[in-house]
Amino acid sequence: MSTPDPPDIYSPAATAGTRAAPPTTLPLTGATIDRASELRDDHHEVKRLLDHPRAAVLGASAGSVLIGELPRPRLLRRPLAGNINPHQPILLGLEAGAPLFAADLDDPEAQSQASDTGLGRLVTLREAGLLLPQAESGLAAYLVALLGWHRNHRFCARCGSPTRMAQAGLARRCPNCSANHFPRTDPVVIMLVDDGAGNILLGRRIGWEAGRFSILAGYVAPGETPEEAVVREVDEESAVRAHSPRYVASQPWPFPASLMLGYEASAETDGAKRPQPQPGEMIEVGWFSHEQVREATLRDRPDNSDRPGASALRLPGEVSIARRLIDGWVARGGRRLAR
């Protein structure tokens, strides 16, 4: 099954002016499952869900999900019996009344889960984000994020004792000091910075191959708003002074537990001072023109991989909000959003 070209995060109406329309849905978003919060503390209800005739389990590893492909790609739903530990169930929620549970295919205590893959196959979450229908894509991100949190938080952060599952998998509780632990999400700002003259700021991080660039990003620090983080991170990574950050869209990014907060911001090009990669952050940073970036987006298309004269610039993959912010800017002709 071929993957269609990714939609821009802006509607066609937005490309004619400078104001962004509400963004369309992004990959890894849009899960429609009922998370059944009101049932999780009722042991009798959880037992009833475990015994439900249509109860199913979804499997995932650290960075991949188990999918089936008939009649179209979707997360593989296996019968529940024997595929999870009934004493520590991880309930994802209800799908049309049927309970869905999660199984960690990397769990050393569940080797039978890893081998019992039915007719499915493992694909990376990035691949799943483009391959699966919207709601399935969002469910895949939820599945990987929740299992990843359990995998990395088996011990109490307060006293170090082993923790136990609580709230049917939506929490962990320490039997020694009674601390309750809940899944964490780390806010990350990711920002397209433009100079108002048809150029955007891109950087190449340490470890990236030559030619691979993306927009800048960084974690929101304690005591800081996302807007403040945009300005600080751009300065720390490039020595460019950004201003007027404008929120555009967000995307869960469970690698391992981030929420990407997409912004556009402005900066003025200083002809006497080029962007400077800061120690420990970037190898290269610079301004790239609308033509350079547009050419790189065209080159990424399968039918244009041998495009003559194409730029060597390589952009983020289509599953990421970084690419959607870039595509939106290209689609509106490199024009700056209204402040």
Q: Over the stretch 101-159, which tens digit does the pLDDT of each residue have?
A: 999 988 765 445 444 545 688 999 999 999 999 999 999 999 999 999 999 999 999 99
Can you give the pLDDT at residue 99? 97
Task: Count Cβ atoms below 10 Å from residue 249 Cβ, excluding itself.
Answer: 21
Q: Residue 23 is encoded by which pair of tokens?
A: 């963004």
* Secondary-structure breakdown of the chain: helix, strand, coil percentages, each rounded to the nearest 5: 25, 25, 45
pLDDT at 237 over 80: yes
Q: Which CATH number is correct for 185-331, 3.40.50.2300, 3.40.50.1980, 3.90.79.10, 3.30.360.10?
A: 3.90.79.10
Phi, psi at 333, each rounded to 5°? 75, 20
Strand, coil or helix: 99: strand
Rounded to an integer, the average pLDDT of 309-327 is 88
Can you give the pLDDT at residue 4? 30
pLDDT at 259 over 60: yes
What b-and-e string marks burial along 123-147, b requiring 16 or more CB atoms within 10 Å of the CB? bebbbbbebbebbbbbbbbbbbbbb
Give the residue, 75 or 301, on which the prediction is more confident. Answer: 75
Q: What is the mean pLDDT of the chain?
A: 87
Percent of the chain residues topping a pLDDT of 70: 84
Rounded to an integer, the average pLDDT of 66-73 is 88
Domain ranges of the chain: 37-181, 185-331
Fold match, 37-181 / 185-331: yes
pLDDT band at 322 (very low <50, low <70, confident <90, very high): very high
Can you give the pLDDT at residue 52? 95
Can you give the pLDDT at residue 271? 61
pLDDT at 11 over 80: no
pLDDT at 197 over 90: yes
Rounded to an integer, the average pLDDT of 248-266 is 96
pLDDT at 3 over 90: no
Can you give the pLDDT at residue 207? 92
pLDDT band at 268 (very low <50, low <70, confident <90, very high): confident
Identify the CA nearest to 266 among candidates 167, 335, 171: 335
The helix (H) or strand (E) run that includes residue 112 is helix 111-115
Q: Residue 167 is encoded by which pair of tokens?
A: 């709230």
At 35, the amino acid letter reads R
Please state which of the ranges 9-18, 26-35, 51-60 shows the lowest mean pLDDT: 9-18
Rounded to an integer, the average pLDDT of 278-293 is 93
Say which residues have a Cβ less than 8 Å from residue 326's Cβ, sequence separation at least 6: 192, 200, 215, 293, 297, 315, 316
As its CATH architecture, domain 37-181 has Alpha-Beta Complex (3.90)
pLDDT band at 86 (very low <50, low <70, confident <90, very high): confident
pLDDT at 24 over 60: no
